[in-house]
Amino acid sequence: MLFRFIIILTAMLCSLPVYAASGLKNVELHDLYFGEVLYYAYQDRPFEALARLDNELSQYYELDERELDSLHFHLGQAEFSVGDLELQYRMNQRAGKAIQAVLGDGLDLATRNIAALQLARLYYRKDDPESTLYALDLIRENPDKSRYEEKYSLDNLRGKPPETFKTDVAYLRALALIDTGQFSKAVDILQELREEKSLKGFVLYNLGIALIQSGREEEAMAVLDELGRLDTDDRALLALKDKTNLKLAYRYLDRGDAKKAQMYFERIRLDGPFSNRALLGAGWVAAAQGRFDRALVPWSILHKRSVTNDAVQEALMAVPYAYSKLEAYGNAANLYDHAMDVFAAEIDSLDSSIKSIRKGRFLTALLNEKADKDKNWVVNLRELPDTPETRYILELMASNDFQEMYKNYKDLAELRHHIDKWLADLRVFEEMIEIRRKYQEPLLPVVEEQFKKIDARVKLRLEQRNNLASKLKNLLIAPRPEYLATATERQALDTVMALEEIIKARPEAVDAQTLEKVRRMRGILLWRVRSEYDQRLTDAYNNLIALDRDIDKMKLRYNSFIRTRQAATQSYEGYTIPIRQLRTRLFAAQRKLKGTMAKQGRMLETMAINELDRRRKRLEEYQIKARFALAENYDRATKAQFDEELMRQRKLRGEAAEKQAQDAAKETAPENAPADTPQAPDEKSSVEEAPADRPAVKKPSSFKQKLLSP
């Protein structure tokens, strides 16, 4: 079970950098909204990223010409990212489907390989090693590609070098093989990974386990010993190193090899997470050798540490036990007395913790804002104030099951917040729609009326423009200079034509000079119109182009108005039913969420209460043992005092008899017999001097009261 937990822990640790360097990295951006998805994904906010990505994808799939949408460039990445993000958001069921869908698509080999690795990780997290191996077998290397090309394509995967990808695959395969009982195969793979720096400690640990399971205990011990001597500054590796040394020490202690056990205990850091158990074990090693004075050294250090720790509580019993073995019964009795006081106080504390949890304060503490500041939730929980709700259960909180349930509970709390926010927003939307309706409905008919008039004028002007354009086009084919005459010229031409009509009707009324004048006037006019025709035609085209620019502006405003008018109608029409439906669905989700959250909360509370109850029972057992040990030591101390007193009195009597005999011999000195009743033993003398590092204890008192108390 412990091995299993460690394997899971290492798998999770190894997958962390993968998630951090998620499949979304190194993306050349073609779509701003996809960039926004990345912005949230990189901040480890999978809900926000997923909500946006789902929205983008659903809009994309509604399009007729999808290749025109900028998301089209990222489609493969987007589809893959859905599974990746769902995995981060612990939506394993959906993530599996999404990744499998990617595997089925015609994507490039590199992306398919990464998808297969992700799928394998997902199965491993779901405690399904057979499927993990199946998914890992889907990873292919394209035989057609040259080594360079293969490296190049793998290099592009999430910015990770190909070696890391291959190492990750091999390591995960080894873990899955251990879980399926194929230890020899796992050993072979892990042996090859031994020099892998990024997985150094974890490989050695799992190799040790695989070797033990395959019956090669001595080799396993050598591997674990190598891990126990690993030179590292990494906190996770230091913890793993301490844990390995602790396991080795206890294993040798069980075998009766105290010397080796001592060596491994001494390797464990005094400020590490396993220091308490190491100090306790080191004491037991000395005790096993009968050197109780030496056992007192680590136990006395432990004795001063936080009493909520299991090992410290055991040390509270172990220290007086050692004193008892050293025949310092008084000290032992005092320390048992102290232990009983501590246990009684701790049992009270546990009772209040259980009560507090039943009142729901534990769940409130779990959702404390302080616990949300860091990604490392265990550290956060350790930083929670030492309230009755969280005391004693830090170990439980670090367990995988509790961790998963706690994350789910926090996710549910966040979802509840989202639902509440949306429900409040829907109320605001409805109010907004109503305000818009009241404002727009009376305005729209008036605007519509005015629009009709303007629309008619716009259409007329557009028709005029088209006529002009058509005439100009015809002029290019068949030049008609008179069409481009100015108004004055046209007026003058009309006058000339009228004069010519008069001359034609009454030629006798006009002299030759006048006739010549009219003819010359016509000539001038025609000369001007015809000679300037080309320039006039060019100017007309230029004016038409200028007109078109104005018409474009007008069309823009016209279309804008059309859309605004449409938007004005749409700003309050057609929302009632969707909002009602969405609200119903939100309420349904809220009900479902409340029920599940309550269940999840109860499970967390039950786990916490069970843990506290277990600790309480253990303390009660200690209390009973301490009570008996106290009585025994009290008796021994009393007996020792009595024996001492008896010896003293015998000595006194002997001396008195001797003196009497001497006196009788002298027959001159008066008789001075010693007192019959022995002097009461000095209470202080019964208590031995404590060593300099003896733990502080309360004043010795009320032994009998303790013994008589229930």
Partner 1 sequence: MLNTFLNKFPVFHSGKSRLTVVFFLLCAFFSSASLAAEVTREQIKGIDEQVQDIKKDVLELTTELTRLEEKLLFPSNTQVSLFVSLKGDRDFILDSMQIKLDNKVVAQHLYTYKELEALRAGGVQRIYTGNIKTGDHALVASFIGRTKSGNDYQRSETFTVTKAVGPKFVEIQITGDSASDQSLSFKDW
Q: How far apart are CB 599 and partner 1 at their closest, in Å? A: 6
Q: Does the footprint of partner 1 cover residue 73 (CB under 8 A)?
A: no
Which is closer to partner 1, CB of 192 or CB of 573?
A: 573
Q: How far apart are CB 567 and partner 1 at their closest, in Å? A: 5
Asked if 153 and 133 touch (Cβ cutoff 8 Å), the reply is: no
Considering only residues 219 to 258 of the shown chain, the ones binding partner 1 according to CB under 8 A are none
- d(C-alpha 692, C-alpha 539), whole Å: 114
200 vs 110, 161, 209, 224, 412, CA distance in Å?
26, 18, 15, 12, 37
Q: Does the footprint of partner 1 cover residue 451 (CB under 8 A)?
A: no
H-state helical runs in 383-486: 394-397, 400-477
Which is closer to partner 1, CB of 89 or CB of 250?
A: 89
- d(C-alpha 137, C-alpha 122), whole Å: 14
Q: Does the footprint of partner 1 cover residue 93 (CB under 8 A)?
A: yes
Q: How far apart are CB 90 and partner 1 at their closest, in Å? A: 7
Which is closer to partner 1, CB of 608 or CB of 629?
A: 608
Asked if 121 and 90 touch (Cβ cutoff 8 Å), the reply is: no
Which one of 201-209, 271-279, 407-415, 501-509 is the stretch in contact with partner 1 (CB under 8 A)?
407-415
Q: Does the footprint of partner 1 cover residue 41 (CB under 8 A)?
A: yes
Which is closer to partner 1, CB of 250 or CB of 451?
A: 451
Q: Does the footprint of partner 1 cover residue 398 (CB under 8 A)?
A: no
Counting runs of H as helices and runs of E as strands, what totals does the chain give? Answer: 27, 0
Q: Does the footprint of partner 1 cover residue 94 (CB under 8 A)?
A: yes
Q: How many CB atoms lie within 10 A of CB 431?
A: 10
SS3 710: coil
Which is closer to partner 1, CB of 150 or CB of 411?
A: 411
Q: How far apart are CB 98 and partner 1 at their closest, in Å? A: 12
Which one of 129-137, 263-271, 537-545, 606-614 is the stretch in contact with partner 1 (CB under 8 A)?
606-614
Q: How far apart are CB 92 and partner 1 at their closest, in Å? A: 7
Which one of 203-211, 498-506, 565-573, 654-662 is the stretch in contact with partner 1 (CB under 8 A)?
565-573
Q: Does the footprint of partner 1 cover residue 579 (CB under 8 A)?
A: yes
Q: Does the footprint of partner 1 cover residue 593 (CB under 8 A)?
A: yes
- d(C-alpha 286, C-alpha 299), whole Å: 10
Q: Does the footprint of partner 1 cover residue 613 (CB under 8 A)?
A: yes
Which is closer to partner 1, CB of 33 or CB of 377?
A: 33
Q: Does the footprint of partner 1 cover residue 38 (CB under 8 A)?
A: yes
Instruction: Pick one of 610, 662, 685, 701: the residue that binds partner 1 (CB under 8 A).
Output: 610
The candidate with the shortest Cα–Cα distance to 310, out of 579, 621, 78, 523, is 621
- d(C-alpha 206, C-alpha 204), whole Å: 6
Of all helices (H) and strands (E), which one includes residue 550?
helix 533-570
Q: Does the footprint of partner 1 cover residue 90 (CB under 8 A)?
A: yes
Which long-range contacts (C-beta less than 8 Å, at least 24 apart) are formed by 423-426? 423/583, 423/586, 423/587, 423/590, 426/579, 426/582, 426/583, 426/586
Burial level of 425, CB count in 10 A (0-12/13-18/19+)?
Answer: exposed
**Mind giving me the DSSP string for 320-377?**
HHHHHHTT-HHHHHHHHHHHHHHHHHHHHHHHHHHHHHHTTHHHHHHT-GGGGSSS-H
Considering only residues 359 to 388 of the shown chain, the ones binding partner 1 according to CB under 8 A are none
Which is closer to partner 1, CB of 3 or CB of 429?
A: 429
Instruction: Pick one of 401, 420, 534, 693: the residue that binds partner 1 (CB under 8 A).
Output: 401
Instruction: Pick one of 4, 16, 17, 26: the residue that binds partner 1 (CB under 8 A).
Output: 26
- d(C-alpha 630, C-alpha 704), whole Å: 10
Task: Report residue 101: phi and psi, to 5°.
Answer: -65, -40
Q: Does the footprint of partner 1 cover residue 578 (CB under 8 A)?
A: yes
Instruction: Pick one of 464, 560, 576, 662: the residue that binds partner 1 (CB under 8 A).
Output: 560
Which is closer to partner 1, CB of 134 or CB of 422?
A: 422
Instruction: Please name the residues in contact with 326: beta carbons below 8 A apart, sequence gap of 6 or more.
Output: 292, 293
Which is closer to partner 1, CB of 94 or CB of 185?
A: 94
Which one of 48-56, 99-107, 133-141, 305-313 is the stretch in contact with partner 1 (CB under 8 A)?
48-56
Q: How many CB atoms lie within 10 A of CB 483?
A: 16
Site string for partner 1, 51-70 (x = CB under 8 A): xx-xx--xx----------x
Number of residues that bind partner 1 (CB under 8 A): 72
Considering only residues 412 to 431 of the shown chain, the ones binding partner 1 according to CB under 8 A are 412, 415, 418-419, 422, 425-426, 429
Asked if 617 and 346 touch (Cβ cutoff 8 Å), the reply is: no
Q: How far apart are CB 357 and partner 1 at their closest, in Å? A: 11
Which is closer to partner 1, CB of 265 or CB of 406?
A: 406
Q: How far apart are CB 413 and partner 1 at their closest, in Å? A: 11
Which one of 86-94, 508-516, 518-526, 665-673 is the stretch in contact with partner 1 (CB under 8 A)?
86-94
b or e along 556-595 (b: 16 or more beta carbons within 10 Å of the residue's beta carbon)?
eebeeeeeeeeebeebbeebeeeeeeeeeebeeebeebee
Q: Does the footprint of partner 1 cover residue 433 (CB under 8 A)?
A: yes
Which is closer to partner 1, CB of 58 or CB of 705?
A: 58
b or e along 514-523 (b: 16 or more beta carbons within 10 Å of the residue's beta carbon)?
eeeebeebbe
Q: Does the footprint of partner 1 cover residue 564 (CB under 8 A)?
A: yes
Of all helices (H) and strands (E), which one includes residue 679?
none
In the chain, the largest separation of any two C-alpha atoms, in whole Å, equals 209
Distance of CA 665 to the CA centre of its chain: 98
Q: Does the footprint of partner 1 cover residue 592 (CB under 8 A)?
A: yes
Asked if 489 and 538 touch (Cβ cutoff 8 Å), the reply is: no
Q: Does the footprint of partner 1 cover residue 486 (CB under 8 A)?
A: no
- d(C-alpha 633, C-alpha 621), whole Å: 18
Which is closer to partner 1, CB of 408 or CB of 638?
A: 408
Q: How far apart are CB 600 and partner 1 at their closest, in Å? A: 6
Which is closer to partner 1, CB of 404 or CB of 644?
A: 404
Instruction: Pick one of 5, 39, 527, 642: the residue that binds partner 1 (CB under 8 A).
Output: 39
Q: Does the footprint of partner 1 cover residue 459 (CB under 8 A)?
A: no
Q: Does the footprint of partner 1 cover residue 660 (CB under 8 A)?
A: no
